[in-house]
Amino acid sequence: MLPAMPITDIREINEDTFLGFWSITETTQELTDLLKKVRPEQEIRSFKNENRQREWLASRILAYLLLQDFTSENFLLQSDENGKPVFPETDFQISISQSGGEVAVIVSSCYEVGIDIEIIREKIMQLAYKFLSEKEQAFANADVARTCLYWSAKETLYKLYSRKKLLFKENLGLGPINELESGVLDGSITLQDFNKNYAVHYEKNNNFILTYCLA
């Protein structure tokens, strides 16, 4: 039984996939104690940045909470050679994101998954030309929230592909945004030996953008 905690939102995407979102208010010590109760075997990484430490701890707790919807086995979350979070020797797929004290996790028993959460910040505009094609820049229309949505959606596709050597501007494509508050973006990953289309789900909540994708 997991200890009580202020998870902001847990939703069932489908019978094989659950998504969780946590707005962190706990201290590092409180989160450390929670993780030790949830998975005593989990090795705890140390970060110099206090906020990063809290996000890491919360993401692991949330991952185990979502996993409990599928199994009572005490699988341990680890990282593969590309740094992708994995439950080794299982079919469970997981993706994790954190930004500004917000954490999002998606777990599936059969789908490949990607997720990203981004605080909407003005500074994204300084980098837009590096990750958006000319067509995507036109779609974004110099709007901060739309540009942040495109960045988040490309992060989600990058995590879904889960292998290195993807160029955000050249290899990851996105269609126009119809409604900013929520919807589905047409996405694609295009490489010399790989070409596939995806549906990237998104929503805007107050000051952050959440995107996720199943494949």
> Which whole-number Å values give the CA distances from 70 to 54, 60, 75, 107, 191, in the listed order?
25, 16, 11, 9, 34
Q: Average pLDDT for residues 117-143, to the nearest whole number? A: 98
- 68-86: b (≥16 Cβ within 10 Å) or e: eebeeeebebeeeeeebbb
Output the CA angle 165-133-169, nearest 5 degrees. 10
The pair of structure tokens assigned to 15 is 């019978």
Domain with CATH 3.90.470.20 in the chain: 9-111
16-40 pLDDT, tens digit each: 999 999 999 999 999 999 999 999 9
Residue 5 pLDDT > 70 = no
164-199 pLDDT, tens digit each: 789 999 999 999 999 999 999 999 999 999 999 999
pLDDT of residue 6: 56
From CA 10, how far away is CA 62, in angstroms rounded? 9
Task: Write down the pTM of the prediction.
Answer: 0.94
Give the end-to-end CA distance of the chain in Å, rounded to a whole number.
31
pLDDT of residue 7: 66
From CA 161, how far away is CA 8, in angstroms rounded? 28
| E runs forming strands in the chain | 9-14, 17-23, 78-79, 85-86, 93-99, 102-108, 113-119, 172-174, 182-191, 194-205, 208-214
13 SS3 class: strand
User: Maximum CA pair distance of the chain?
Assistant: 51
Q: Average pLDDT for residues 111-134, to the nearest whole number? A: 98
CATH number assigned to the domain with residue range 9-111, chosen from the 4 options 3.90.470.20, 3.60.21.10, 2.130.10.30, 3.90.550.10: 3.90.470.20
Residue 2 pLDDT > 90 = no
Orientation angle between helical segments 50-67 and 28-38, nearest 10 degrees: 30
